[in-house]
Amino acid sequence: MKLRLLTIAATISATLLFVGCQEDQIEPQNNDVEGRYEQEVFSAVVIDSAEYDTDEGLWMDIYHPSGDASTNRRLVILGHGGAFVAGSRKNPLMVDYATRLAKHGYVVATYDYRLAGGINVMLDSLQSLNVVARAMSDATNAIEFLISSATSGNPFGLDPGNIVLGGNSAGAVLALHVGHMDESDSLSVGMSQVMTAQGGWASQWNPTSAGPIKAIISLAGGIHKTHWLNSYGPRLIMAHGTWDPVVPYSCGHVINNTQTATILCGTAPLTSKSEALNLENEALIFPEMLHCPWNDSQAINDQLFDYLVPELNKAF
C-alpha cells in the first residue's frame, strides 16, 4: 500500500465540471481500442436509463462508449453522496466520472437508492442504521440487475465477472458495507435488528468469498466496524481529507461529531486494518482538507480522477 499526500494551494478556485446526460452526437470511432482503461479512447458516450427496481421505482443510468463493439467490458457502479437524505444518480460528480470512465472504455452505472426522510433520522444512530441497511438492499438489487442483464442479451456489453463498486460520501459508505459486510460478521443487537427488518441476508450482497466485485472506490467513506473487512474481499481504493467533519478520516461520530449519530471509521483505520489483513489497498490523502474537497475544486477533481484510473487497472 502506498499512502499519497497531496497539498493543494488554498488559492485554487475552479468549479466542478458539469456534464450533461444526453448522448454526445459524434461519429463512432474505430473499434481498435488500444489503451482501453488506461486513457480516453472514445470521444462519445451513450447513456441508457433502466428501472432496476420496479417495486420501489428506482432507476439507474448506464454509460458506455459509443461505437464500441466489445461485449465484455469492465463494469463500475457508482453511488452518489448526500448524507443518505439527498442526491440522485444525476449528481454532477457521478455524471462527470461516469462519462470519463466510459470514454476510457468502461461501462459505468450510477444508481438511485432510497433516502431518509430528513437529516434528523441520520442523527439517530439506530434509525440511520436502518436507512443504510435499506440502501444496501437497493445497491444489491442494482448489482444483481446488471449481472442478470449479461445473461439476458447483454444489452450493455458488460463482463459480469469484473465489477468495481464505489461512491462518494454516503455512496462510499454504502459501497464499503455492501462489498465487505457478510453474514459471518459479528453484529450488534441493533444492527441485527435492522438487517432483519430489511429482509435479512437474503436481501444483501453477502460476499462470503471472493467474487465478481474486484474493488471498492471509497471517496470520503467509512465503515461502521473495521473488523467487517475481509482478507479475500475487494481491493480498497480510497481518498479522504484529514479534517473531514462529515465522515471522519479516523473513527468518530458522523456529521460534525454529533454524539447521537452513528460512528464510522474512515480511511486511516481502513488502511491499518487492510494492512493487517494483507488486503490490497491504496489511499490518496488530502492533509487538512474537509469533506470531499474534489467537489469544490476542478484541480482536485482532476487529480482524483487521474489517481483512480491506474488504481482501477490494478484491481483486475
**Cell numbers of 84, please?**
443518505
- Contact predicate 234/278, CB 8 Å: no
Calculate the average pLDDT of the chain.
91
Asked if 109 contacts 64 with a C-beta cutoff of 8 angstroms, the reply is no
pLDDT of residue 218: 99
pLDDT bucket at 126, cuts 50 / 70 / 90: very high
pLDDT for 33 equals 83
Give the three cell numbers for residue 23: 448522448
Split at pLDDT 50, 70, 90, the class of 241 is very high
The pLDDT of residue 242 is above 60: yes
Architecture of the structural domain at 37-314: 3-Layer(aba) Sandwich (3.40)
Q: How confident is the model at residue 302 (pLDDT cuts 50, 70, 90)?
A: very high
Is residue 210 within 8 A of residue 232, CB to CB? The reply is yes
- What band does 3 get if pLDDT is binned at 50, 70 and 90? low
Q: Quick check: 277 pLDDT over 70? A: yes
Averaged pLDDT, 205-233:
97
- Residue 24 pLDDT > 70, yes or no? no
* Closest by Cα among 277, 276, 249 to 172: 249
**Measured between alpha carbons, how far is 237 from 165 in angstroms, rounded to an integer?**
10
Average pLDDT over residues 159-168: 98
Domain ranges for the chain, please list them: 37-314
- Residue 133 reports pLDDT greater than 50: yes
Q: Give dist(CA 158, CA 146) in Å, integer.
A: 8
Q: What pLDDT score does 32 carry?
A: 56
- Given a contact cutoff of 8 angstroms between Cβ atoms, the answer to whether 180 and 208 are in contact is no
From residue 128, give the alpha-carbon distance in Å to each of 85, 123, 198, 250, 260. Answer: 10, 7, 13, 20, 10
pLDDT of the residue at 157? 97
Reading the block at residue 269, the C-alpha cell is 483505520
CA-nearest of 164, 4, 1, 195 to 78 is 164
